[in-house]
Amino acid sequence: MSKTSNINRVDGFAKVTGSATYSAEYKTAGVVYACLVGSTIAKGRIKSIDTKKAEWAPGVLSVITHLNVDKPVGYKDAKDPHNFGQPLQIFKDDSIVYYDQPIALVIADTFERMQYAASLIKAEYFKEEHSTDLNKAKDKERKVDTKKGDDYNRGIQDGYKNAAVILEADYTIPTEVHNPMELANIIAKWDGNKPTLYTKSQGVEGTRRSVGKVFGIAPEDVSVNSEYLGGAFGMGLHTWPYEIAALIGSKKLGKPVKLVLHREQMFTNVGYRPYTIQKIGLGATKEGKIVGLTHEAVAQTSSYEDFMEGTVNMSRFLYNSENVTTRYRIVPIDICTPIWMRGPGEATGSFALESAMDELAHKLNLDPIEFRKLNYAEKDQEQNKPWSSKFLLECYEGGMERIGWKNRKNEPGSVREGDWLVGYGMGTGTFGCYRSPTSVKAKLLANGNLVLQCSVNDMGPGTATMMTAIGADVTGISTENVIIEMGKSGLPKGPTQGGSATTSSVGSAVNDSCQLLVKKIIDLALLNPTFKNAKADDLSFVDGNVISKKEASKTISVMALLEANKLQELEVENQSKADEEAKKYSIYSYSVHFVKVLVNPKLGKIRLAHVVSCADIGTVINQKTSAGQMFGGAVGGIGMGLMEALEIDHRFGRPINNNFADYHVPVNADIEKQEVFFVNKKDPISNPMGTKGLGETALVGMAPAIANAVFNATGKRVRDLPITLDKII
């Protein structure tokens, strides 16, 4: 274990003391305040919109609607308002495509005057029949029009049907909403034709590209600052209409405009995990060898944009099976476009697959882990490649021991603690390991500090801390002397923070740039008289000094080295990307969640007595931040399993629990005991550090673990999430 593997969060102090600056908190001279007024119907056209009273209200600077907006040049032809695959173009015309769709932007000199003026806006509509219920719109299902949306088949199509023992079941997950603590927020301003945004985004470069596209300017002319995020869970993977609205308002007024969505708008305007109906067909021999697996999913998308995710993908490789069929369909309905939500499709898919595995194990009278081990995949049958590394069995073992799996009985309802039925369950998660090209600049200053620069941002997992640890490890410079500059444009280009790829991408780039920097320092030292006749191999860089390995007395500080060469600093900027070798392997992270539930059969109450989340994520760079991620992901999965559901009143097409009082998420008191365990074995292929990614797989597999534990306790199989007490009693 390296000495940097347990450092505290480098931004922790700033975050808990309030000195970390979130987007809307940037001090901006002359800033004015904006909000969005939403439609009160789910589908139709705006008949009239009365903005007069608002415009005349004190302090109001502008009210922008589809009637007076200066349309950005990137908007497509108005005759084709909702081009296939195009994001919503705010204020483009009079059409309404979802409830609470913004119909007006109100800008005033103070927050209070802005809010008052917004309350004066009145709109009338031509209503059209809306469709917000996926179950009733299934006849509109279609494929996604990209190669990714193709059906998959290996062996005999729907080959599970030929097996001796068959399970066929439908599983449903409701719409869930990301709801990070920090609301969606932006300050937008323009300098001529060049905008600057302080915005909540998971991708600085991605935001530059989308804003550039909308306003017809080069991404390089768009400045984006998104240094601190108070969570995002995927909602920051899109540039949303509210961001474009703030830019439109700011451009019109020539003033910086601040716009913060209110909590209710977080439920309607910035994406969600889509309502998804899945069908599993799983067949095995009497001995428990899987013969075939079919996994189908139908998910909601919006009427104006296609969205798809990897819901059925893990069924193609997680278990050994000659015959596998997957199908994925979307149904456009009148709600805003979904966006990946932590663990995304894999979390949805794991609920179906890992519930079905438990159901079939029960039919076969096999222990669910024994059943999984019987069908352990020695290689990736989908891609026909070897695994780079796979320590899934170690996750099973680690979890079984910690949860007390030996106390589990295969017969449901056969273990009790007082009035409570005891159930044990588990679920497996997996997520691909991705690595994007990333540039990092490593700078050694004369004072011995190491500066690492990258435009990647940190939505909470501890990216800055990871960069610090890797930089310190490679250079031998103490972590206190590492300075991270990130989360804004103008820095070397980093990836979007998503898909669990940040450590693999940015960490590798830090590693490579720091190695090149050390080489540069040593090359410079070789020119110094102190090390006359020495070779590069004879020298090492330790704690800010170049030292001769042969004669410890021969040493020179970096400060002296820079001074001798009349240099202020020494820097390296380098781009890193995955090598060809990695393409020969299939690289996945794994998680296995174990749950012990106590269920009161009379009340239907479910207590989470013990939760253990195990993961094979390759090397663990930082124990604390990784454990934090794993706890958080598991809690997200618990929310998915037991609480979260956005309820739509389909008569009006609008949500009825768009607030934290009615949309429940777990709190500490909901989980009586929680542990995490990492196998922590280096992947030899993935990247120089041997990491595999954690953020997503931390959530994948938790919801089925709970459903399986509830079944083990009660004999009740719940196939539609969340598992609320009405489904138990």
Q: Which residues are catalytic?
A: 696
Query: CB–CB of 375/322 below 8 Å?
Result: no
Binding of ligand MOS at residue 462 (CB under 6 A)? no
Binding of ligand MOS at residue 663 (CB under 6 A)? no
What tokens appear for 469 in the block? 């640890």
**Separation of alpha carbons 612 and 592, rounded Å:** 8
Residue list 7-46, contact with ligand MOS (CB under 6 A): none
From 339-347, 363-371, 405-413, 668-676, give the range in contact with ligand MOS by CB under 6 A.
Answer: 339-347
Q: Please, which residue, 102 or 344, has the CB nearer to ligand MOS? A: 344
**Separation of alpha carbons 315 and 173, rounded Å:** 17
Binding of ligand MOS at residue 340 (CB under 6 A)? yes
Q: Binding marks (x or -) toward ligand MOS, 185..204, rule CB under 6 A?
A: -----------------x--
From 337-345, 385-393, 512-520, 686-694, give the range in contact with ligand MOS by CB under 6 A.
Answer: 337-345
Give least dist CB 494 to ligand MOS, A. Answer: 15
**Separation of alpha carbons 254 and 360, rounded Å:** 64
- Burial letters 271-303, b for 16+ CB under 10 A, else e: bbbbbbbbbbbbbbeeebbbbbbbbbbbbbbbb
Total residues binding ligand MOS (CB under 6 A): 10
Residue list 482-511, contact with ligand MOS (CB under 6 A): 498-499
From 97-105, 341-349, 549-557, 590-598, give the range in contact with ligand MOS by CB under 6 A.
Answer: 341-349
What tokens appear for 318 in the block? 């997680």
Q: Please, which residue, 22 or 431, has the CB nearer to ligand MOS? A: 431
Give least dist CB 263 to ligand MOS, A. Answer: 20
Q: Please, which residue, 261 or 459, has the CB nearer to ligand MOS? A: 459
Give least dist CB 696 to ligand MOS, A. Answer: 6
Give least dist CB 341 to ligand MOS, A. Answer: 6
From 104-112, 258-266, 283-291, 335-343, give the range in contact with ligand MOS by CB under 6 A.
Answer: 335-343
Total count of residues recorded for the chain: 729
CB neighbours (10 Å) of residue 675? Answer: 18
**Separation of alpha carbons 495 and 676, rounded Å:** 28
**Separation of alpha carbons 56 and 264, rounded Å:** 27
Give least dist CB 53 to ligand MOS, A. Answer: 41
What is the three-class DSSP state of 70? coil
Single-letter amino acid code for the residue at 20: A
**Separation of alpha carbons 698 and 634, rounded Å:** 6
Q: Please, which residue, 23 or 436, has the CB nearer to ligand MOS? A: 436
Which of 249, 344, 427, 655 touches ligand MOS (CB under 6 A)? 344
Residue list 232-291, contact with ligand MOS (CB under 6 A): 233-234, 237
Binding of ligand MOS at residue 342 (CB under 6 A)? yes
First vs last Cα of the chain: how many Å apart?
49
**Separation of alpha carbons 512 and 515, rounded Å:** 5
Element (H, E) at 23: none
Residues 6+ apart with CB under 8 A from 12: none
Give least dist CB 111 to ligand MOS, A. Answer: 30
Residue list 219-238, contact with ligand MOS (CB under 6 A): 233-234, 237
The distance from CA 551 to its chain's CA centroid, rounded to whole angstroms, is: 51
Give least dist CB 343 to ligand MOS, A. Answer: 7
**Separation of alpha carbons 665 and 670, rounded Å:** 9
Please name the residue that has the structure tokens 């609205």. 245
From 37-45, 338-346, 525-533, 583-591, give the range in contact with ligand MOS by CB under 6 A.
Answer: 338-346
Query: CB–CB of 214/75 below 8 Å?
Result: yes
Which parts of this chain interact with ligand MOS (CB under 6 A)? 202, 233-234, 237, 340-342, 344, 498-499
